[in-house]
Amino acid sequence: MPGFVHRSRLTILVDVLKTTMKSKKGKKKTGIMQDANLNSRQATKYLHLLLANGLLNPDSKERYRPTQKGLELVHTLEALNLKLR
């Protein structure tokens, strides 16, 4: 039976950003938790980090959407990942 593989902090941040990119309306915290496989404490931690760094924007209905900076980060990291394969 294989052991658990822990995701890096960067991988989780990208997972959260990708989750918010799935919907034009943005995603609520619960949807982010489910799609990125995070508990409430983890989701809060990563959402605060992304907000503080200008990678996510909250709206008035508690939905989160990626900023242009967040979109660029995801695309850059995906391109880098492809080059490293």
| Digit-coded pLDDT (tens) for 27-82 | 999 999 999 999 999 999 999 999 999 999 999 889 999 999 999 999 999 999 88
The pair of structure tokens assigned to 67 is 């900023």
- Identity at 17, one-letter amino acid code: L
Does residue 63 sit in helix, strand or coil? strand
The pLDDT, as a whole number, for residue 5 is: 80
* Cβ atoms of residues 50 and 58 within 8 Å: no
Instruction: Provide the 10 A C-beta neighbour count for residue 53.
Output: 13
Q: For the chain, how many residues are written?
A: 85
Greater model confidence, 2 or 17: 17
The CATH class of the 9-84 domain is: mainly alpha
Between helix 9-21 and helix 68-84 the angle, nearest 10°, is: 120
